[in-house]
Structure 1
Amino acid sequence: MAEDIKTKIKNYKTAPFDNRFPNQNQTRNCWQNYLDFYRCEKAMAAKGGDVSMCEWHQRVYKSLCPVSWVSSWDDHWAEGTFPGKI
């Protein structure tokens, strides 16, 4: 399983189609992958697992989300006012 994900990350070009977000507007997809990345990172760190497994979500949100959004969310995260549940 880990090798399969590492192969996908290595061959990553852009965000693939996600059935959860079938419409053209990918705002929710961007938001969900941002949350999934930090949830995955938190869970893997707690288990003592390989955090690099979460890199897939990071690559997806970085290719979908505008930089200004990510920057704003990161600022909120640092201030402790982030609205999402991670």
Structure 2
Amino acid sequence: MAEDIKSKIKKYKTAHFDSHFPNQNQTRNCWQNYLDFHRCEKAMTEKGGDVSLCRWYQRVYKSLCPMSWVSAWDHPRAEGTFPGKI
């Protein structure tokens, strides 16, 4: 199963349609995938799992989010003052 996910990640080009976010405004989709990536990364690191499985979320948020938002979120996350629940 992990090999199947890894092969899908390698072929991934851009964010797919997500029925949770059907509107044109993809801000919430961007935010949710950013959180999901860091939650996944944190959980896999704590369990000693394969962090590369979380890369899908990273690719989605990088294709949806403006990089200025990502850098604005990375700084408080590194300082421990990030408002999102990770």
Same fold, TM-score > 0.5, yes or no:
yes
The corresponding residue for 1:14 is 14
Q: How many aligned residue pairs are there? A: 86
- Partners of 2:24 and 2:12 in 1: how far apart? 21
Structure 1 vs Structure 2: percent identity of aligned residues? 81
- Which residue is equivalent to 1:61? 61
Q: Which amino acid in structure 2 is aligned with residue 78 of structure 1? A: A
- For residues 1-86 of structure 1, the aligned pairs below 5 Å read 1-86=1-86
- Residue 79 of structure 1 and its aligned partner are, at CA, apart by 2.0
Structure 1 segments, 4+ long, off by >6 Å, are none
For 2:8 and 2:25, the matched residues in 1 are separated by 24
Cα separation, 1, equivalents of 2:33 and 2:25: 14
TM-score, normalised to structure 2's length? 0.96
Uncovered stretches (5+) of structure 1, i.e. residues with no partner = none
SS class of match (1:21): coil
Comparing 5-14 with 65-74, greater Cα deviation is found at 5-14
Cα RMSD, aligned residues only? 0.7
- How far the C-alpha of 1:49 sits from its partner, in A, is 0.5
TM-score by length of 1: 0.96
Segments of 5+ residues of structure 2 without an aligned counterpart are none
